Structure 1
Amino acid sequence: MVRYAEPGAVEWVESGGGPLIAVPETVLPFWAGADGEETASDYDRACEVDGHVGLLPVGDCTALVLGDEPAATAYLPDHGMFVRWCAGDSEHEVLASVPPATATAQWGPETTWKVPGPVRLFDAAWPGTSLADTDQVRVALEPGTYTVRTARVQPGPETWLDFIRLHLRTPR
């Protein structure tokens, strides 16, 4: 089992203030971020997502927008979910609280997300073609249809987390 609090064991992604987005690698060139010639940029579309998650078309796929607040976010493959660090004193405290908080989380309604394979999680303001210079992480998802559910948990008096759980429903 991975001890997540070991330095370098978890890669956190942060934004400059807007939403994060998980874009399938196959369509990264189609995500223009805040750039673009349109009246409403891709970033503007991502900012319009109401709630914890939403889906946006990108090329011939969809991307998962992590909305609500610009919290530092990591993907924990052992739990099959994104963890958003809304409040907490330390990474160790936040990550140690994940297993017990998962067991008691009140999960919201599900969303269905079709994924062609690995995705990149990054600040929605960045274009998909410029990720080498940004704060981003590769999430190795299997191709298929995922159910996505969210929960806000408060495992301690000063610790708040958002969970975005991905469950592979049907492999492609």
Structure 2
Amino acid sequence: MVRYAEPGTVEWVESGGGPLVAVPEAVLPFWTGADGEETASDYDRACEVDGLLGLLPVGDATALVLGDEPAATAFLPEHGTLVRWIAGDSEAELLASVPAALHTARWQPEVHWKVPGTVVLFDAAWPGTGSTGTDQVSLTLAAGRYAVRAARVQPGPETWLVLVQLRPLP
């Protein structure tokens, strides 16, 4: 797998070409990835998500699918935001653009996502039990409901990113 992100400031997750998925740790064994024995695997279901994000049932919980195009993705907990690197000259430049991008973003309609706690972000092609040791990152989230919204932004002439913001609901 080609790595586009630079090592350093944050942990980036990349896919082999398909969507990324954030699956609650509690239901990781139920995510079959591309190995499903059904007509449509979990990976197939994730690939059918139209747009920047979507929700899919997994066990007794729900996974968040980051659709559209594969892109290196990092979680910035201080902003409650997943940042997807579409184009940019450097990690530092891209990350520095996030605060302003959050204020100018034109957000798509939000979805509501209920999580039981920590979720794991990884390539949707991998089975949940096989995601350890792959390109993944854990997102420590408090159990509860979140409003999730996404926006494609261009904070600079050569910088493009997708923001996926997770806001706790009361």
- Aligned residue for 1:108, secondary structure, equals coil
Query: Is structure 2 residue 147 aligned with structure 1 residue 147?
Result: yes
Residues 94-153 of structure 1: per-residue CA shift (max 9 Å, x gap): 001101111111111110000000000000000000122210000000000000111111
> Which residues of 2 match residues 81-160 of structure 1 at below 5 A?
81-160=81-160
Query: SS where residue 37 of structure 2 aligns?
Result: coil
Which whole-Å deviations, capped at 9, do the CAs of 1:8-61 have from their partners, x for residues lacking one?
431000000000000000000000000021111100000000000000000000
Secondary structure of residue in 2 paired with 1:133: coil
Structure 1 position 7, deviation (Å): 5.5
Shift of 1:82: 0.3
Match of 2:21, SS? strand
TM-score when scaled to structure 1?
0.93
- Partner of 1:62: helix, strand, or coil? strand
Q: Provide the secondary structure at the position in 1 that maps to 2:34.
A: coil
CA RMSD of aligned residues (A): 1.1
Q: Higher mean Cα deviation, 132-141 or 7-16?
A: 7-16
With structure 2 as the length reference, what TM-score do the two structures score? 0.94
Structure 1 pair 7–40 and aligned structure 2 pair: CA distance change class (3 A): closer
Q: Which amino acid aligns with 2:134?
A: T
- Asked if 1:164 is matched to 2:164, the reply is yes
Unaligned runs of 5+ in 1: 1-5
The list of structure 1 runs, each at least 4 consecutive aligned residues, that deviate by more than 2 angstroms after superposition, is 6-9
Q: How many residues align?
A: 165
What is the percent sequence identity of the aligned residues? 74
SS state at 2:28 partner: helix
Corresponding residue for residue 61 of structure 1: 61
Task: Report the more deviating stretch, 7-16 or 26-35.
Answer: 7-16
Q: 2:3 aligns to what?
A: none
Q: Structure 1's 7 and 33: CA in aligned 2 closer, same or farther, altered over 3 A? A: closer
Secondary structure, counterpart of 2:112 in structure 1: strand
- Tell me the SS of whatever aligns to 2:131: helix
**1:22, 1:123 → 2: CA distance?**
9
* Structure 2 residues not aligned, in runs of 5+: 1-5
